[in-house]
Amino acid sequence: MRDLAGQVKDAALNLIFPPVCPVCGKPAPARAYLHPECERKLVPVSGERCAVCGKQLPDGRESLCLDCRRRRHEFIQTISVFQYTEAARQCIYRFKYKNKREYAAPLGYLMWKYAGRRIRFYRPEVIIPVPMYAAKKRRRGYNQSELLAQSLARVSGIPCAPEALIRTRATRPMKELTAGERAANLSGAFLADGPLPWKRVLLLDDIYTSGSTLDACAAALKKGGAREVYGICLCTGEGF
Ligand SMILES: [Zn+2]
Ligand SMILES: [Zn+2]
């Protein structure tokens, strides 16, 4: 049961950020995070998935995707909740770039609804978001992955530690780089505030592309003392 202070805080937050449906952007229906018809536009990743990176596999004959057969990841397993459809793309775009911080609550709820079972299976002691470089966060005003991690922490009851991992320098957007440039771009870019008190960590990012960012973060967390790093992403891209 939430205490009175928590309820008052939620009511105040609802006045500042009235609940909106993250898919259509209109006011959310009463006592729900989004419209049922809007939720249906978000397509969960389903069927056969790569056992490591969670990407949907074209056929079920292999358990790993081509990429994961070629290289080892630093995380044990990552799953993404939704496919990167047009509805998901627009939703994430507004959440990231259009100051729609209020999307964090419905999106965190959806992550838990669709991936809660898997997250419980990982038994993470903490959720850590992929950090943003401090200067970039100041410019944008927030780190969307951090908001999402805090939201997931609220619905799941798993603590969140956004300060445990830092991005030590600015990096170039991964989508602009070739595979070779990606590794150099991220080399030494993350540092864990170790020694970390957790053994099992759930790392959170908004979109899974090549896994390079999660790998760099997971390596830093393991350097800081974490033993097992799992990943959760809101969406997975295809063809990366
Ligand atoms: Zn809607
Ligand atoms: Zn894979």
List the pLDDT tens digit at each of the 240 positions of the chain: 457 777 777 777 666 667 899 999 999 998 899 999 999 999 999 888 999 999 988 776 779 998 899 999 999 999 999 999 999 999 999 999 999 999 999 999 999 999 999 999 999 999 999 999 999 999 999 999 999 999 999 999 999 999 999 999 998 887 788 877 877 888 889 999 989 999 999 999 999 988 999 999 999 999 999 999 999 999 997 644
- Residue 55: nearest ligand to its CA? 2
State the CB neighbour count (10 A cutoff) for residue 32. Answer: 13
Q: What is the pLDDT of residue 174?
A: 78
Number of Cβ atoms within 10 Å of the Cβ of 40? 11
Tokens 């990606």 locate to 182
Name the token pair of 79.
């799953």
Strand partners, 74: none
pLDDT score, position 15: 67
Tell me how far apart the alpha carbons of residues 143 and 204 are, in angstroms, rounded to a whole number.
12
Going from the Cα of 37 to the center of ligand 1, the distance in angstroms, rounded, reads 7
- Domains of the chain in start order, with CATH, are 20-236 (3.40.50)
Alpha helices, H only, 98-143: 104-122, 134-140
Gap from CA of 102 to ligand 1 centroid (Å): 14
**Span from the CA of 198 to the centroid of ligand 1 (angstroms):** 38
**Ligand lying closest to the C-alpha of residue 42:** 1
- Look up residue 28 and give its amino acid: A
Q: Do 193 and 165 form a contact (C-beta atoms < 8 A)?
A: yes
Ligand nearest 215 Cα, by number? 2
How far is Cα 148 from Cα 150, in angstroms, rounded to an integer? Answer: 5
**CA 52 to centroid of ligand 2, rounded, Å:** 5
From CA 56, how far away is CA 81, in angstroms rounded?
11
Tell me the Cα Rg of the chain.
Answer: 18
Which of 220, 222, 218 lies closest to 77, judged by CA?
218
CA of 180: how far to CAs of 118, 126, 167, 238, in Å?
32, 32, 20, 19
Ligand nearest to the CA of 209: 2
SS3 at position 203: strand
